[in-house]
Amino acid sequence: MMENQASSDDARQRLGFLPAAETAALARDGVLIPDPGSVLVSPGVRLEEGVVLWPGIILQVQDGGTLVIGNHTQLFSGSRLVASGGSIKVGARAEIGDEGGFTLKAGTGDVIEVGDGARLLGGGSLTLSNRIGRGAQILGPIRCQNCTLGDGATYRDPEPDERGGVLKGSGVARQTEVPTGSVIQAFGLFSEGILRRQSHFHPKSGR
């Protein structure tokens, strides 16, 4: 058993990740990790108090990159965040990777920012530079490159037109901008999608 653990730790360290015991020790800083043996975290990743790392998470820093996860953010199984010379900063109380994981990859010179309360789900990805504002959402397997979603309230807010910008559907979004309270739903190229108010999809009763 000890030999297997030593072999596992050797592989982790060769690949640039913390040994299993040091990963489990992140709990001392208030990080919640139900299954430390299934989680890979590079040295230098900054995890604030209350972050939840569900099984199967990879948080990787290499080539001078930086990766910061804000307090009480949840990273769901199958998510991979890689700062390979670039910068990834996730705000507080975000939800990343529910319903199929999510991938964030910042190469040299790239900056990916995910605001407080944002929600990224359904197997999509962020590559190159992206700014996903407070309360913004990406819903579905959407490949986002150089996208900007406006700040707003979270999906829990009763007023849909005050929520952060939303992309929903599947496909590729390049240099796409969605302002506060708006949404683009597409299945293919989001550049061909129609920008609508979120109340179009979530009308209030009595309207």
For the CA atoms of 73, 112, 185, 166, what is the dihedral angle to 10 degrees?
A: 50
Contact 115, 95 (CB under 8 A): no
Contact 112, 106 (CB under 8 A): yes
Q: Is residue 201 predicted with pLDDT exceeding 90?
A: no
Average pLDDT over residues 168-197: 97
- Please state, in angstroms and rounded to a whole number, the distance separating the CA atoms of residues 4 and 64: 31
Average pLDDT over residues 146-155: 98
**57-105: per-residue pLDDT in tens?**
999 999 999 999 999 999 999 999 999 999 999 999 999 999 999 999 9
pLDDT for the residue numbered 3:
58
**6-33: per-residue pLDDT in tens?**
788 999 999 999 999 999 999 999 999 9
- Please state, in angstroms and rounded to a whole number, the distance separating the CA atoms of residues 130 and 128: 7
**Would you place residue 207 in the very low, low, confident or very high pLDDT band (cuts 50, 70, 90)?**
very low
Specify the CATH class of 19-200 in words.
mainly beta
Q: Which pTM does this prediction carry?
A: 0.93
Contact 91, 134 (CB under 8 A): yes
Question: Domain-by-domain residue ranges, the chain?
Answer: 19-200
